[in-house]
Amino acid sequence: MLYEQHGLLRLVYKFEAYLPKPARDWIDQKLRDFRVLLIENGILAESDSSSSESKAVVNARNAVKVAQDDLNSLQTQLQDHKEDLHKDYGVDGVFRVLKGQCVSKDSGEYNYDLCWLDTIRQKSKKGGGETGLGNFVRIDSVEVDEGVSADGKGLGTGRRVTLRYENGQHCWNGPNRSTLVVLACAEKDEIWKVAEEEKCVYRMEVGTPAVCEVTAGNGGQKGGQGKDEL
């Protein structure tokens, strides 16, 4: 098709040489128009462009590039989801829904932000930037024997689920900041207490429904805590 059109154009150009000037000009103009039409329809490549590819080829190449980029991004997402499926989100994956959500607490000179399975941050009320108190590393548990305050906000006695956050901002003349979050069953997510037990080593007592044991139904849940224990 393309070859035939080129052949035709050449023939017309040859024949043109024998015609009077006005007829030549007319044919010239018609040929120019025809070329433009072919270029616009992606059949002929623009001869003065740096690339010798037709518009249709360029468009197809761009479409392939876009589709390839989409595929790469989906493959990365798939890989992330596969890795996420192997992460520990606690008994029955209770922490999966909380991931990324945060709870805050105003305590002494600072405000604290606990983001579930993500980071913990401290911000001075006097201004300045935030200080990282650790990045989530694992779910664990610890034995506690502590009272419960009159408002029910306390760890009580028994094994409690913990979240360990490590490798926070480096402490001048000390370690990288780290935090142990000890959880107890409560009706809503709430930081009850923050303590800096040693320099740059923090401990948070936090209430959350995520560690309340389901007493009715599917049983077999471990590491939780019934509301009746409060």
- Judged by CB under 6 A, does residue 129 bind ligand MAN? no
Number of helices and strands (H, E) in the chain? 3, 8
Which of residues 178 and 225 has its CB atom nearest to ligand MAN in the complex? Answer: 178
CA angle 51, 53, 58 (to 5 degrees): 100
In the list 27, 38, 39, 171, the residue contacting ligand MAN (rule: CB under 6 A) is 171
- Assess 179 for contact with ligand MAN (CB under 6 A): no
Site membership for ligand MAN, residue 111 (CB under 6 A): no
Both tokens assigned to 69? 């980029």
- If one asks whether residue 200 binds ligand MAN (CB under 6 A), the answer comes out as yes
Pairing of strands 178-185, 201-208: parallel
Q: Which stretch binds ligand MAN (CB under 6 A): 32-40, 80-88, 192-200, 203-211?
A: 192-200
Span of 138-146, 152-160, 193-201, 209-217 interacting with ligand MAN by CB under 6 A? 193-201
Two structure tokens written together for 190: 């709430």
DSSP conformational letter for 171: P
Which CB atom, from 3 or from 172, has the smaller least distance to ligand MAN?
172
Question: Within 13 Å of residue 27, how many CA atoms lie on the same side as its CB?
Answer: 16
